[in-house]
Chains A and B, each alone.
Chain A
């Protein structure tokens, strides 16, 4: 079983729509959770960390559900510039190594 699993999508949504997707992780001892964003043919960049109580960063909301071992990302009022692949990242080994999901692709159309 993969350590981190994501629905690859693609999620095709119109501008202004809300889109949400989840990621599951296998290790219940995981401690740190992140969403990275990767634009086409570019490197991954940190979008936001995910905190136990959930957190928002502008139009982006991240949630953590430890009981069911998943994290979620919700994008409100989608913009064309939100089109990207979103990588779920989990620290599963209690050290500085991270485990990456294969990514969920979001395409926002005009």
Chain B
């Protein structure tokens, strides 16, 4: 069984640029959630996709957007990067979006904005 994978591992961007982060779900999972983890903080929910539709969103501005593809892989896009966007971005997949189900996390993408 393949776990959740994310790419790239590390990324350095300049303020104002755009970035795309990618996530492959665990086999059989149709729900993907994205989290932002700033240094020294707990992860914060960005949004969730279920069967290619946005299923819920946290308190993040519209320049954070996402996609989920028919194979349930997902992308996180961030436009007009700001210094505060520097963080570890975590993707998590689950069998569906029910609250009692475990979310399986990938290793994350470390984004640095200079």
A and B held together in a complex: no
Task: Give B contacts to A, CB under 8 Å.
Answer: none
Tell me the A residues contacting B by CB distance below 8 Å: none
